[in-house]
Amino acid sequence: MSTLIKKAKEAMKKKNYDYTIDLCLQELRMKPDNVGARKLLREAERERESRKGKGSFFSGFGSKIGATFSGLTKNYDKVMMACEEYLKTHPNDVSYLIKLGQAANKAGYLDTALEVFKDVLSLDKKNTTSLRALAQIYRGQDEIERAANYYEMLRKADPSDKEANKAVRQLAALSSSRKMDKAREDGDGDFRSLIKDKGKARKLEKDARILRSNEEIQDAIDETLVVLEAEPQNHKKYSFLGDLYARLRQYDKAITAYRNSFAIHDADGTILNTIGDLGLRKLNDAVRALDAAQKKSPAGDYAAKRRKLLIEKNRYCITEWTRRVEAYPTEHGYKYDLGRYLFAGGKIEEAISYLQKAMEDPRARRKASNMLGQCFMKKKNYDLALKEFKKATDGLPQSDNLMKEVTYNMANTYEAMGDQEQARKTYEKILEIDYSYKDVAKKVTSLQS
């Protein structure tokens, strides 16, 4: 506590209000953000007024003019002192208390601004200027509950206030969202125990992805959009929004949401994989929708449309998995997938290159050998094809699906080489364990004849 304030408090005890006021003003000229000094000043001014009566209309007139002209120059410290000179004799003048609060706010003296605007509310409970200022300051300080409280008071004072109505919705959703985020971080699975209100508890459950119907998912989307209005840089909420849209199969909106998340916080590269997966899901759904439509109402151009969709899908996969291989050079599984898509697109040389690299991953080795065998078969290099197929079958149980596929490919290779006897024997190996596999039974019958 400064010497000036100590003296001011002693003077206040002795009811020497004039001296208290002068000492407080001296302190405020040096320290404009001294909230305690300003509170003591206002108390002294009001005590003096209660004993001596209100000042005349013309008292402090020069200070009123000073406050106006200082405000034009944006010298906010000067505006504050001019307001205080006027308030010396008119301490309950709401308009000049508001000017004082606004100048303090613009000068960055937020504690002072908060105190002054609260003082205004003690004189005028429904003062919308002060309610708005308090709500905005607390919101800027990320004090959500306090901001929401003042916005609610503002809405009650003026039900048509658009800012207040919008802010109340945003802050309620934001508060609910943060409680849910904290619960997830703390590992608290009992979301209903977070708050007593059952309606809010249901909202929290939705935010926790316990969503059973499309209506619940849409409600969660609406709430998340409100949160993002209040927190446009919340990348986690954009990812959550993307997940919600994906669950409704609204893939374009989901992709946009994830892209927004990545643009804000690009440290998590897996978001790009999620975006890529969503693009593939969109194409798969298009193929399924076309198949379903054909069953319902057969169309002559179905085959051409389906072929076009599959070509588009394969091109998309080549582009996406090329990106993944470049982004994750040690992930050999991506190389296998890219090789597979290149093979389907007829790019055999490129496919061989990536499939050979994928062999470095023990998990992908057999599958890669099977695909390499098919590549060499396309190039009519049958010896290399058989060599790769045999590598793929090494150690595989007879009933394994991959074993059946590779054995089928080996039989095809023998058939292409003109070795019908070996082709038949190889097909028969499949018949022994799965008579209905593909067209094996027909193949064997044909080769026998």
Task: Note the pLDDT of residue 398.
Answer: 74
Cα-based distances in Å from 339 to 7, 88, 253, 349, 352: 85, 83, 30, 10, 7
To the nearest 10°, the Cα dihedral for 261, 266, 268, 273? 70
Measured distance CA(279)–CA(444) in Å, rounded: 42
Is 141 within a domain?
Answer: no
The domain boundary residue, chosen from 393, 410, 436: 393
The structure's pTM equals 0.60
In terms of domains, do 183 and 285 share one? yes
Is 111 within a domain?
Answer: yes
Task: Note the pLDDT of residue 79.
Answer: 92
Residue 192 clears pLDDT 60, i.e. is over it: no
Residue 195 clears pLDDT 50, i.e. is over it: no
Is 440 within a domain?
Answer: yes
In terms of domains, do 32 and 52 share one? yes
Each residue of 116-170: pLDDT tens digit? Answer: 999 999 999 999 999 999 999 998 888 888 999 999 999 999 999 999 988 888 8
More confident: 188 or 289:
289
In terms of domains, do 337 and 265 share one? no
| String of DSSP letters for 319-339 | HHHHHHHHH-TT-HHHHHHHH
Kindly state the average pLDDT of the residues 300-312.
Answer: 94
Residue 372 clears pLDDT 50, i.e. is over it: yes
- Please state, as a whole number, how many other Cβ atoms lie within 10 Å of the Cβ of residue 190: 7
Query: What is the dihedral sign for C-alpha 7, 10, 14, 20?
Result: positive
In terms of domains, do 201 and 281 share one? yes
Number of alpha carbons in the 13 Å side-chain half-sphere of residue 340: 16
Kindly state the average pLDDT of the residues 314-318.
Answer: 97
Average pLDDT, the chain: 87
Do the Cβ atoms of 430 and 408 come closer than 8 Å?
yes
Where helices occur in 73-127 by DSSP H, the ranges are 76-87, 94-107, 110-123
Is 153 within a domain?
Answer: no
Residue 198 clears pLDDT 50, i.e. is over it: no
The domain boundary residue, chosen from 348, 368, 393: 393
| String of DSSP letters for 396-428 | --TT-HHHHHHHHHHHHHHHHHT-HHHHHHHHH
Is 145 within a domain?
Answer: no
Domains: count for the chain? 4
Kindly state the average pLDDT of the residues 346-360.
Answer: 95
Q: What is the CATH number of the domain that holds 269?
A: 1.25.40.10
In terms of domains, do 250 and 337 share one? no
Measured distance CA(321)–CA(280) in Å, rounded: 11
Residue 22 clears pLDDT 90, i.e. is over it: yes
Kindly state the average pLDDT of the residues 274-294.
Answer: 95
Is 93 within a domain?
Answer: yes
The domain boundary residue, chosen from 124, 156, 186: 124
Each residue of 62-108: pLDDT tens digit? Answer: 555 555 545 556 789 999 999 999 999 999 999 999 999 999 999 99
In terms of domains, do 180 and 263 share one? yes
Residue that the structure tokens 């609406």 belong to: 222
Is 308 within a domain?
Answer: no
Task: Note the pLDDT of residue 194.
Answer: 41
In terms of domains, do 259 and 342 share one? no
In terms of domains, do 189 and 282 share one? yes
Residue 325 clears pLDDT 80, i.e. is over it: yes
Measured distance CA(46)–CA(306) in Å, rounded: 84
Which range is most confident: 204-218, 269-283, 393-407? 269-283
Is 101 within a domain?
Answer: yes
Residue 188 clears pLDDT 60, i.e. is over it: no
Task: Note the pLDDT of residue 157.
Answer: 93
Q: Which of 24-28, 57-61, 216-220 has the lowest mean pLDDT?
A: 57-61
Structure tokens at 208: 């926790």
Task: Note the pLDDT of residue 401.
Answer: 87
Residue 183 clears pLDDT 70, i.e. is over it: no
Task: Note the pLDDT of residue 75.
Answer: 86
In terms of domains, do 13 and 117 share one? yes
Kindly provide the residue ranges of all beta strands, DSSP E only, lying in 183-317, ordered along the sequence: none
Task: Note the pLDDT of residue 186.
Answer: 58
Which residue range is the domain that position 336 belongs to?
330-393
Q: Which amino acid is at 201?
A: A
In terms of domains, do 388 and 406 share one? no
> Angle at CA 357, nearest 5°, toward 351 and 358?
85
Residue 178 clears pLDDT 80, i.e. is over it: no
Do the Cβ atoms of 282 and 250 come closer than 8 Å?
no
In terms of domains, do 8 and 105 share one? yes
Residue that the structure tokens 């208290």 belong to: 20
Q: Which amino acid is at 448?
A: Q
In terms of domains, do 181 and 264 share one? yes
Do the Cβ atoms of 339 and 351 come closer than 8 Å?
yes
Q: What is the CATH number of the domain that holds 68?
A: 1.25.40
Measured distance CA(386)–CA(389) in Å, rounded: 5
Structure tokens at 304: 């051409």
Task: Note the pLDDT of residue 321.
Answer: 96
